[in-house]
Amino acid sequence: MSELELIPQENALSVFCQEDGMVPYVDKVREMVDNFEHDVKTPAGRKKSITFSAKISKYKVAMDNVAKKTTEDIDATKKKVNASRKYLKENLDELRDLARLPVTEYEKHEEVRIKTLQERVCYISSLSDICSSGDISLEDIQENIDILYKIEIDETFEEFQDRADSAKKDSFSALTSAFNREKERARDIEELGKLRKDAADRAEKDRQVAENENARIKAECEAKDKIEHEKAKLAEAKEREEALIRENERIKAQAEQQAKQAVIDERNRQKEKDLEDERARLKLERDKQHVSKIRGEAKTDLMNIVSEEVAKKIVLAISNNEISNVNINYGG
């Protein structure tokens, strides 16, 4: 397929990067396909068509290999460019930092210097912070005043000297005011303590007087209570004696009444017993008469089949349960 030309490798990058760079090559193949005469009726004709198709396929592979080789060249070029970029960046960054190093070191030194001066000024201001504390003593305030006196505001504070001087004056003013307030409060507390002690002493004296008076009144009350108690004991003893007499009289009367009632009860019990005995006797008499009547009727009935003597013996034997499974029904 000598009619199809491959792209020269040295020109491949420019051809592949053109917007329509592949169009002539594809149009050439399309023209050959359009002009090719197929003969599918004979084996030789069909083989010719297959061979033509295979040549196009091989041409495609060959062109693709040119493109791959071009891509590999581009990748190798990119690696070289990136390596140069890295070298350039690292070295120029180092040179940039080196060029700025004096300024950087000066800025760091200034940052430390300013921070140190600011901390010294803040320390001076912080000495008055105890003034806002609820738990404060004159000793604590005086200690901070002494520390403040020893701090000398000089040129070592550099541009913060005015600020340090102002902070010292403010702290001294606040500490002095707090010291005076605390001293006044201490005097007030001391005076209040004295007043409370005087009040406590007076209260103790009044308590002693009241306690002595209460003791006197208590002694009088106890003596009076003792007399009243003795009177009450005598009255109680008399009341118990009178109650004992009344109780004896009541018991005596109750005993007499119980004796009389016992006689009456015994009489009533005997009468009731006599009545019960009489009722029992009458019932027994009625029962005997009823049994005699039933047995007589049974004997009379038996006399219809046996003699009177035999009938009497049969009834008597039945009454005495001498004949098994036979008894006399006496009814109600």
Average pLDDT over residues 2-31: 88
> What are 98-155's pLDDT values in tens digits?
788 888 999 999 999 999 999 999 999 998 888 877 677 888 889 889 999 899 999 9
Q: What pLDDT was estimated at residue 145?
A: 92
149 contacts 143 by C-beta, under 8 angstroms = no
Any idea which of 10-14, 107-111, 227-231 has the lowest mean pLDDT? Answer: 227-231
Q: What pLDDT was estimated at residue 91?
A: 83
Average pLDDT over residues 240-252: 88
Backbone angles phi, psi at 200, to 5 degrees: -65, -40
Q: What pLDDT was estimated at residue 212?
A: 82
189 Rama class: left (phi>0) / alpha (psi -120 to 50) / beta: alpha
> What are 169-217's pLDDT values in tens digits?
999 998 899 889 888 888 888 888 888 888 888 888 889 887 888 888 8
Query: Which one has a higher pLDDT value, 71 or 100?
Result: 71
pLDDT at 77 over 90: no
pLDDT at 35 over 50: yes
Average pLDDT over residues 22-38: 91
Average pLDDT over residues 324-328: 84
304-317: b (≥16 Cβ within 10 Å) or e:
eeeeeeebbebbee
Q: What pLDDT was estimated at residue 166?
A: 94
Residues 300, 304, 305, CA angle at the centre, nearest 5°?
125
Q: What pLDDT was estimated at residue 2?
A: 47
Amino acid at 199: A
Q: How does residue 332 score in pLDDT terms, banded at 50, 70 and 90? A: low
Helices in the chain by DSSP H: which ranges? Answer: 12-17, 23-35, 43-126, 138-150, 161-302, 308-319
> What are 247-304's pLDDT values in tens digits?
988 998 898 899 889 889 999 999 999 999 999 999 888 888 888 889 898 899 989 9
Determine the Cα–Cα distance for residues 144 and 181; give it in Å rounded to an integer. 16
What global pTM score does this model have? Answer: 0.38
Which burial class, exposed, middle or buried, applies to 166 when counting CB atoms under 10 A from its CB (0-12, 13-18, 19+)? middle
Query: Which one has a higher pLDDT value, 159 or 235?
Result: 159
Six-digit token string for 76: 């190798």
Q: What pLDDT was estimated at residue 1?
A: 39
pLDDT at 331 over 80: no
Q: What pLDDT was estimated at residue 107?
A: 93
CA distances from 246 to 204, 251, 260, 273, 305 (A): 59, 9, 21, 39, 87
Query: Which one has a higher pLDDT value, 73 or 167?
Result: 167
Q: What pLDDT was estimated at residue 325?
A: 85
